Amino acid sequence: MSNSEADFEHWLQARHAATDGFTALMLLVTIGARVEMTACAYLHVIGDEVSWAEMKGLIDQNGKPWDGVAIFAESDAGGGPVIDLVARARLQDRIDAVTADRMVLNEAGFFDPQGRAIRLDPL
């Protein structure tokens, strides 16, 4: 495992251990003069053995350019993924929060295309 992949994989293993599975709310962004959201999705994570290459492959299937992916881990009160209705609502809540303040991206597991942890800094 390269150092870049290790950031994502350590994050995933820690989130899974803390929640016994979760729903990943994912926001793809491009980073330039402005940070723009380009796509969003959610998926249910039931194990901790997903490699960065596998996750990146899923992300790249959407065909949109991206420089970063913010992954917010949401779990049910008793642990595990949330139901689809809740996932859609929480994803919209995250979109609204990031639209109002891009710094919210730092609250997620935030990774570049190589799987390295990144963060936004205020100007």
**Which pLDDT score, from 0 to 100, does residue 2 have?**
44
Domain count, the chain: 1
**Which pLDDT score, from 0 to 100, does residue 122 have?**
86
Q: What is the mean pLDDT of the chain?
A: 94
Q: Is residue 82 part of a domain?
A: yes
Q: pTM of the entire structure?
A: 0.93
Q: Is residue 16 part of a domain?
A: yes
Buried b (16+ CB within 10 A) or exposed e, 49-87: ebebeebbeebeeeeeebebbbbbbbbeeeeebbeeeeb
Range of the domain at 25: 3-111
pLDDT tens digits for range 4-39: 678 999 999 999 999 999 999 999 999 999 999 999
Return the closest-CA partner of residue 6 out of 50, 46, 52. 52
pLDDT tens digits for range 44-91: 999 888 999 999 999 999 999 999 999 999 999 989 999 999 999 999
Q: Is residue 39 part of a domain?
A: yes
Q: Is residue 57 part of a domain?
A: yes
